[in-house]
Amino acid sequence: MQITGSQIIANKLLKSETNSFYAKNPTNGQQLPTEFFEATIAEIDQAVKMAEEAFVAYRKKSDQERADFLDRIGEEIMNLGDTLLERCHQETGLPMGRLQGERGRTVNQLKLFAELLRDGTWVDARIDTAIPDRQPIPKPDIRQMQIAMGPVGVFGASNFPLAFSVAGGDTASALAAGCTIVVKGHPAHPGTSELVGRAIAKAVEATGMPAGTFSLVQGQSVEVGMGIVQHPLIKAIGFTGSFRGGKAIFDAANQRDEPIPVYAEMGSINPVFVLPEALQQQRDKIAEGWVGSLTLGVGQFCTNPGVLITQESDESVQFLERAKQSLSAVTTDAMLTDRISEAYQKGAGQMEQTDNVATVAKSQSSEAATSAEGFIFSTSVKNFLAQPDLSEEVFGPSSLHISAQFKAEVLEVAKNLEGHLTATLHATENDLVEYADLIAILERKVGRLLINGFPTGVEVCHSMVHGGPYPATTDSRSTSVGTLAIKRFTRPISYQNFPQNGLPDALKNENPLRIFRLVNGKLTQEQIS
């Protein structure tokens, strides 16, 4: 498939040759072929209006029809074959093995949402039947379910060019909910975005979905993204990226005449607490795992373990020495873009120059154009709490070790944390008893708690929460990974005293979909007699 540099609007390739840009290979700094163009305001307006027009029909499609559509998207992505992987490798520098795995994850999360739709229970049907002779006033018949909100704007992420991009989790969950979408491709991988976008467009056509169900607009400027956010027909936004970008989108969405929800996942330092007995028993294993986690993917994960806390002891000294040995043997590879590499080096450089912060270890770096060294820094609890900048994310392969003198300082660190995506405890059963108060604190700080592992790696499943309190996300009640993500793009509606032939199938007495429903307070698949 030939990459054209076009916008994809309602299944048509359009190109207004205005301001142009090119992708760049981050490993050698060379410009890649194909000229791309900034989407114009007129093109964005057309895409959103077509999404609104398509939504009228798409939201009425059955769960089975939408499930078949999601499955077909996965098939069309796989049909791109090595063309997709090769272009993605050129644009990101990510190894082919990583990209093969990410492609599988992308397709599998589409399949997961298809399975959710075929089950049908996701609509959360609730029925309270009438009691006409209730005193002092009759009780009406009231029935509730979730319905799609409307056209959704989705922003592709830089660090997951497949799984969090054009056909990523936000796209899968929004389409599953019955929403049409306009995607803003990430400018770091526009060729990858176009290939995946055209795969979705083929699936739209093959399954008979309305043409405006999906559109892809591209561009480097802020104006392209804001053109989607500020369009009055857009009803919600999905975003994965930096705090600065997510907060700007959130603020703009709330300043509209009609404010809309923004589900922005904006980063995290993902604290790791190594408790005393676990440190004694698993010192070297934890140290090696920490280094492996903080350097995985050159540290370009929102779940990168940015800080690690231990209590002072002989074991903690030996732990840091082992981590130093491990990191010194690592060679870090290319980062995704010049901007990410420059921002990381600036952040790591500032950390090196910060008072009372020691540089414990450095990795080796490759000769890639965007290569950057990995770091382990160390400081005291007192210094960490006194310098708020130390708690800010440095997006890349570095982590800050915090040394606590005693348990009370460990708890103080936890109490002073902002919201994060994850927190990890390395602990024995005795540690968990002794530090039960730490867990209670962390439950209020994060969306996912881990025991004896590392946060890099987010399983796509029904029970996953990839979210957390602000500033990790703009809405701690949701997740961007897992099937609960569908609820971000729905809203509840009640039907009162409707005749049976006027109700959606999910709420009819005979329960033609055979789904579980909450009927008069009891969960059942039975018909209502």
Please enumerate in sequence order all residues whose Cβ is within 8 A of that of 407, keeping only pairs 6 or more positions apart, or say none: 311, 434, 435
Q: What are phi and psi of 25, to 5 degrees?
A: -80, 115
User: Which amino acid is residue 385, in one-letter code?
Assistant: L
- Report how far residue 57's alpha carbon sits from residue 180's, in angstroms, rounded to the nearest whole number: 10
Structure token pair of residue 466 = 């990839």
Catalytic one of 43, 76, 91, 302: 302
- Helix or strand (DSSP H, E) at 280: helix 276-295
Task: Check if 392 is active-site.
Answer: no
Cα–Cα distance list, 204 to 168, 172, 214 (Å): 16, 13, 8
Tell me whether strands 420-426 and 446-451 are parallel, antiparallel or unpaired. parallel
Three-state secondary-structure class, residue 400: strand
Number of C-beta neighbours around residue 134 at 10 A: 10
Please enumerate in sequence order all residues whose Cβ is within 8 A of that of 104, keeping only pairs 6 or more positions apart, or say none: none
Is omega for the bond preceding 471 within 30 degrees of 0, making it cis? yes
- Report how far residue 442's alpha carbon sits from residue 462's, in angstroms, rounded to the nearest whole number: 22
Q: Cβ distance 227 to 215 under 8 Å?
A: no
Tell me whether strands 272-274 and 307-311 are parallel, antiparallel or unpaired. parallel
Residue among 489, 490, 494, 516 at smallest CA distance from 504? 494
Q: Cβ distance 27 to 120 under 8 Å?
A: no
Structure token pair of residue 35 = 């000229």
Catalytic one of 43, 265, 315, 373: 265
- Report how far residue 1's alpha carbon sits from residue 8's, in angstroms, rounded to the nearest whole number: 15
CA torsion through residues 80, 84, 85, 86, sign: positive
Number of C-beta neighbours around residue 440 at 10 A: 11
- Report how far residue 429's alpha carbon sits from residue 474's, in angstroms, rounded to the nearest whole number: 34
- Report how far residue 83's alpha carbon sits from residue 20's, in angstroms, rounded to the nearest whole number: 23
Task: Check if 265 is active-site.
Answer: yes
- Maximum CA extent, the chain: 81
Structure token pair of residue 88 = 């993605």
Cite the active site residues.
265, 302
